[in-house]
Amino acid sequence: MKNKSSYENLQQNVRKLKTPEIEVWENQYPDKDYVISIEIPEFTCICPKTGLPDFAVIKIDYSPDKYCVELKSLKMYTIFFRNIGIFHEHLTNVILDDFVKWCKPRWAKIISEFNPRGGIKTVVSREYKRK
């Protein structure tokens, strides 16, 4: 693979990234199946290769169980990434893992739509369904 070494070790510790806690509040309708959709249209992080900013729309759809996400806390969580160098694919996985950890939803889906870079638009999505 050409230029593999130029990307090597850039994200080796991404799974150990210490992200902020996402606060939740108690759902008063845990007996109901419904979906909450959240859109974060001004998300930014850093390209770990170039150091340049990446801009994206992050979409979160989830079906709450006992807890719902507290939106100000989610906003502060997303701001954390402004100075973090992270690949699009890794970012989507980190957000979903953290969201599931704190909110414990029945089901959740994260869609990260990154603005075009070099004429290429990237969309990464991942879904979680409780077993």
Number of domains in the chain: 1
Task: Evaluate whether residue 3 is within a structural domain.
Answer: no
3-state DSSP assignment of residue 10: coil
Task: Evaluate whether residue 110 is within a structural domain.
Answer: yes
Task: Evaluate whether residue 1 is within a structural domain.
Answer: no
- Give which of 14, 4, 34 is closest to 89, Cα–Cα: 14
Task: Evaluate whether residue 13 is within a structural domain.
Answer: no
Q: Read off the pLDDT of each residue in 101-129 and give the average, rounded to a whole number.
A: 96
48 versus 113: which is more confidently predicted?
113
Task: Evaluate whether residue 55 is within a structural domain.
Answer: yes
Task: Evaluate whether residue 112 is within a structural domain.
Answer: yes
DSSP summary character for residue 90? H
Task: Evaluate whether residue 6 is within a structural domain.
Answer: no
Identify the domain containing residue 78 by its residue range. Answer: 22-129
Alpha-carbon distance 12 to 90, whole Å? 11
Q: Return the CATH number at 63.
A: 3.30.1130.10
Q: With a cut of 90, say whether residue 111 has pLDDT above it.
A: yes
Q: In this predicted model, what pLDDT tens digit does every residue of 6-15 receive, in sequence order?
A: 555 566 677 7
Residue 65: HSE in the Cβ half-sphere, 13 Å Cα cutoff: 12
Task: Evaluate whether residue 108 is within a structural domain.
Answer: yes
Alpha-carbon distance 119 to 56, whole Å? 15
Q: Read off the pLDDT of each residue in 47-52 and give the average, rounded to a whole number.
A: 87
Active site residues per annotation: 47, 54
pLDDT at 125: 98
Q: In this predicted model, what pLDDT tens digit does every residue of 57-87 receive, in sequence order?
A: 999 999 999 999 999 999 999 999 999 999 9
Measured in degrees and rounded to the nearest 5, phi and psi for residue 93 equal: -65, -40
